[in-house]
């Protein structure tokens, strides 16, 4: 990311921390427990999938990718946020701010694309089970993963690259972490182009993932209704329900986040709270909804933990 080197000597200041002094320690403990839970849960899922060869299947590989994505997003936000709670002045270099913004937006974009790929995987597995292994080959899986990560990387590199090159008149960010909207608010020039590009990315991804997921799950539900095997029907519906719960939650939070960011006259504390929620709730829930709710992963994790405790 060569655009970082251009202004990495500039110092910015995060001035969005308006919490009462008495809330510092409770907030720190809350964020620490959340971050620890995110790391432990997602690392456990990744480790279980790696060590158990029976889990080297497309669905679990995609879960592994989702856990990696969650770790990137939470690591970009929470450690710095916890440290800043105790600081009176919160300086951050322009290069570090750009890196944080890039990581946060990469997490959000990659999450949506991975969820979309997971929907396609479930569609093939349930609606066309006899051809599943021939369709979801290792090559196809690699292409889908490259699509999710590569597409997110390219889109966000362009977005943050444009923002990084805007001339800046200010050094104060009225935010508690760096993201694209807080960065282009420092610009001296018209930011309509950057704003428009960010909106296009957001709406394109939301519409693309929504249409894909609605179509795939409609076909899955239609297929389930005509299955005679009640056990297979229940398993298919259960798998889809867990996916949809997380997707709907993520999209609702994202929608509120877009609305409050585009209307700066609203409550700034609400904007901050939503910005944090979209970064910590999905990574916290993913290991539970996708990981521990999956019997094979749950058994593997319990077996690993039991083995370590016996040692």
Q: Which of 205, 199, 196 is nearest to 109 (CA)?
A: 205
Domain boundaries, the chain: 12-310
Tell me the DSSP string of 120-174. Answer: HHHHHHHHSGGGHHHHS-HHHHHHHHHHHHHHHHHHHHHHHHHHHTS-B---EES
Q: Which of 118, 111, 109 is nearest to 141 (CA)?
A: 118
3-state helix, strand, coil in the chain (%, to 5): 80, 5, 15
The three-point CA angle 227-228-232 to 5° equals 65
Q: Which of 295, 131, 117, 143 is nearest to 216 (CA)?
A: 117
The predicted model scores a pTM of 0.87
d(CA 46, CA 181): 32
Superfamily for the 12-310 domain: Rhodopsin 7-helix transmembrane proteins (1.20.1070.10)
Element (H, E) at 276: helix 268-286
**Can you give the pLDDT of all 311 residues of the chain as single tens digits?**
444 444 444 888 888 777 777 888 999 999 999 999 999 999 989 988 998 888 899 989 999 999 999 999 999 999 999 998 888 888 899 999 999 999 999 998 999 899 899 989 988 988 888 899 999 999 999 999 999 999 999 999 998 998 888 888 888 888 888 988 888 888 887 777 777 887 888 788 888 888 888 888 888 877 777 766 667 667 667 767 777 777 777 777 777 766 666 655 555 666 677 778 888 888 988 888 877 667 777 777 777 767 666 55
Chain length of the chain: 311
Q: Which residues on neighbouring strands pair with residue 168, listed in sequence order?
A: 187
Structure tokens, 139: 């090559």
């Amino acid at each position: 990311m060569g655009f970082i080197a251009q202004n990495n000597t500039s110092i910015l200041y995060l001035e969005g921390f308006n919490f009462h002094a008495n809330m510092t320690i409770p907030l720190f403990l809350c964020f620490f427990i959340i971050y620890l839970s995110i790391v432990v849960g997602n690392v456990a899922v990744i480790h279980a999938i790696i060590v158990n060869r029976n889990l080297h299947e497309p669905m679990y590989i995609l879960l592994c990718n989702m856990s990696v994505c969650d770790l990137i997003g939470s690591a970009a936000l929470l450690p710095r946020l916890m440290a800043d709670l105790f600081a009176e002045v919160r300086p951050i270099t322009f290069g570090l701010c750009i890196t944080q913004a890039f990581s946060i937006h990469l997490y959000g974009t990659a999450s949506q694309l991975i969820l979309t790929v997971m929907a396609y995987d479930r569609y093939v597995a349930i609606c066309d089970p006899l051809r599943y292994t021939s369709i979801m080959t290792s090559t196809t899986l690699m292409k889908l993963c490259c699509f999710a990560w590569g597409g997110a990387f390219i889109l966000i590199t362009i977005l943050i690259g444009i923002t990084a090159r805007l001339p800046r008149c200010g050094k104060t960010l009225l935010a508690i972490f760096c993201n694209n909207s807080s960065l282009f608010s420092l610009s001296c020039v018209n930011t309509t182009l950057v704003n428009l590009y960010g909106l296009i990315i957001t709406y394109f991804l939301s519409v693309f993932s929504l249409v894909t997921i609605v179509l795939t799950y409609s076909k899955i539900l239609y297929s389930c209704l005509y299955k005679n095997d009640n056990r297979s029907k229940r398993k298919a519906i259960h798998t889809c329900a867990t996916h949809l719960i997380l997707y709907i939650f993520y999209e609702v939070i994202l929608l509120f986040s877009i609305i409050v960011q585009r209307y700066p006259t609203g409550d700034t504390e609400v904007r901050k709270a939503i910005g944090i929620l979209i970064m910590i709730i999905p990574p916290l829930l993913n290991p539970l909804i996708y990981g521990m709710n999956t019997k094979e992963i749950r058994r593997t994790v319990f077996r690993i933990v039991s083995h370590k405790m016996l040692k």
